[in-house]
Amino acid sequence: MNEPAYPFNLWHDPWIRVTRLDGQSATLSIAETLAQAARLAALADPSPLVVGGSHRLLVAILQALYAPPDLGALAELLERGQFAERELDAFGKEYGPRFALFHPTTPFMQTGDVPLDGWQKPAKGQKHAWGEAKPITYLCPEVPTATNRTLYHHVRDEDHLFCPACCARGLITIPAFVMSGGSGNRPSINGEPPIYIFPVGHTLFYSLACSLVTLGFIPSTADPDRAEYTAWNQHNVIGKSQEVSAVGYLESLTFPARRIRLYPQVKATRCTHCGQQTPISVSSMLFEMGHWLSKSGPVWDDPFVALRKPRGKDKADGEPRPVRLEAGKALWREYSTLLLGKPDKSVLRPKVLQQLGKLIDDYGVLQDNDILRFRCTSIRNPPGKAIVDEWLDEALDAPPALLNDDAAAYLIEQALKQADEVRFVLESSFDHHFRPARDRGGQKAELARFKTVRARMTTNYWAALAPRFRQFIYNLSDEAQREEVEREWINHLIREGLQQFQAAAEQAGSQSEALRARVEADAEARRRLYGKRKEWLGE
């Protein structure tokens, strides 16, 4: 292979931001990150999408390197406590050149049939052979691009100059997080970005090793004939708007959902994204629709994604769909969906969690007093638009025993349902007593005010429950105390619900009619809430 004219190689050059065990930050290459994984605490980046994309890329490399055939092999790797440098060095010697970011013909995770100077405008009267160049900011959803503007962010697209490291960070987010939007642009292999769940251990080694999947947990829709296909050994051309019907597992982790070619230039400057000095910068690139998974086949069952059968009008379809971020819904309210699944298979937790549960049961890789942590990452966009409405980067904790405890899973599901029933009582009681009088003017303004108060009441209610729910989860580990734990949770729901309801009712005013409505509303809310308490506790 020809040597790249613009040297930057993701295997050898630093671009991954990490945190060491002593809390110090560092930027490392792929080779350094994997070799030092046992001495690193975690991946760290301002963008959760970069963390998620980096995690999946590193897992793809390790999956190709180790390919654990069964749980025993994975347990042995966990027991070893580190990735062997000898194995990493051998991998680097064989595949390291394929990680070159600006290679003339085999650029990493890009199409190699477009020249590095493809950004140059054609001569007058000639048509551009490679398509219109796009600003480099299309790689980063957090940076305003084209018509997707952020107030007071006054930087023109052509003024952005990214360093190679920032280009690499943006590039690896595409397979998991690219959204639909624009003419003909489809999302990636999992559709619109779902909630990705990544195991988090006390070291980066543990986080990555727990993310490897054995043969029994490879996606059922993965094509075994494409098991060896990866971004570093595939054909070097990404087809434009190409439908694919078969995908291998390694291939899915670096799925080429966009046809990209970075256009570098030797220009010493300061990166407009990270602020670092760089001798090579990128302002534009080819960025158009790449591969997309045919809809005629089954849904891709990604090991890092929970699946849920359709509800409501889509129920007849029956095909499970990835669990996605819902507007205004706190992550902990999806706890049983994401971590525990459902016995009736209406919800399937991610395969990495299913596998971890069996590792705990069969090989005792964790002690009961350990706490499992899972980092949850996602973005949400309006249907068909590449505009980010909401970002998610949170963690859910679980005692190891809970992953395989059906009784605890039932109690958690009941607790979440009870919390939602209290929410319904609060909102319906508020609506019944606080609304504008029909024979008075200004009804719309008054109604809008009451809706705002009610929405704030609901938001405050869920926010106040979050820390209590976390404690509820921990307390369930003690089977002997579960009845008391359940009673305490129910009592807390009633107290918190009444407190938030009364705080909202006080905003109705202090005139005689408002005072009467407040008294009547409080009486109704109390009656209904204590009726729920009596029902749940069997009193």
Q: If DSSP states are collapsed to H, E and C, what string results for 115-154?
A: CCCCCCCCCCCCCCCCCCCEEHHHHCCCCCECCECCCCCC
Q: What is the pLDDT along the chain (539 residues), one digit of tens a residue?
A: 455 567 899 999 999 999 999 999 999 999 999 999 999 999 999 999 999 999 999 999 999 999 999 999 999 999 999 999 999 999 999 999 999 999 999 999 999 999 888 767 665 656 667 778 889 988 988 776 554 444 444 556 667 899 999 999 999 999 999 988 767 789 999 999 999 999 999 999 999 999 999 999 999 999 999 999 999 998 889 999 999 999 999 999 999 999 999 999 988 899 999 999 999 999 999 999 999 999 887 889 999 999 998 876 555 557 889 999 998 889 999 998 899 887 777 889 999 999 999 998 888 776 555 678 999 999 987 776 667 778 899 999 998 888 888 899 899 999 999 999 999 999 999 988 887 544 444 455 555 678 888 999 999 999 999 999 999 999 998 889 999 999 999 999 999 999 999 999 988 777 777 788 889 999 999 999 999 999 999 87
Question: pTM here?
Answer: 0.90
Distance in angstroms (rounded) separating the CA atoms of residues 84 and 102: 29
* Nearest in space to 116 (alpha carbons), one of 20, 4, 210, 211: 4
Sorted by sequence, the CB contacts under 8 Å of residue 69 that are 6+ apart come out as: 214, 215
Lateral strand order in the sheet of 277-289 = 134-135, 277-289, 258-270
Sorted by sequence, the CB contacts under 8 Å of residue 22 that are 6+ apart come out as: none
Task: For the beta carbon of residue 184, count every other beta carbon within 10 angstroms.
Answer: 10
Residue 445 and residue 435 in contact, taking contact as beta carbons nearer than 8 Å: no
The DSSP call for residue 294 is: -
Domain spans, the chain: 1-404, 407-537
Q: Which helix (H) or strand (E) holds 208?
A: helix 204-209
Q: Which helix (H) or strand (E) holds 178?
A: none
- Beta bridge partner(s), residue 266: 280
**How does 99-125 read in b/e, with b if 16+ C-beta sit within 10 Å?**
bbbbbeebbbbbbbebebebbeeeeee
Structure tokens at 489: 């949770």
Which class is 407-537 in CATH?
mainly alpha
Task: For the beta carbon of residue 299, count every other beta carbon within 10 angstroms.
Answer: 17
